[in-house]
Amino acid sequence: ALKLSEAEIIRRKNKTCPVVILDDILSELDQTRRNFVINNIDKSQVFITCCEKSNKEQLKDGKIFLLNNGEVS
């Protein structure tokens, strides 16, 4: 919540759309909050890293990049 609030302040103050990087936050959230983070953050370009493949099944829109042994697919 703090990072998303910070991005909103930057957006309003600088009139720019910040890139938000959230590193492995999904493992700390329950299912409801995980779904919210994945599908309801807008007005920013958001990169979310996670370790569980099952998290991608909740994604309604967006792109998934898989990194495996240094190869991106």
Which helix (H) or strand (E) segment holds residue 23: the answer is: strand 19-23
> Could you report the per-residue pLDDT of 4-56, keeping only the tens digit for each?
889 889 999 999 888 989 898 888 889 888 888 877 777 778 888 888 777 77
Higher pLDDT pick, 11 / 58: 11
Q: What's 32's DSSP letter?
A: H
Q: How far is CA 60 from the centre of its chain?
A: 13
Q: How many CB atoms lie within 10 A of CB 33?
A: 13
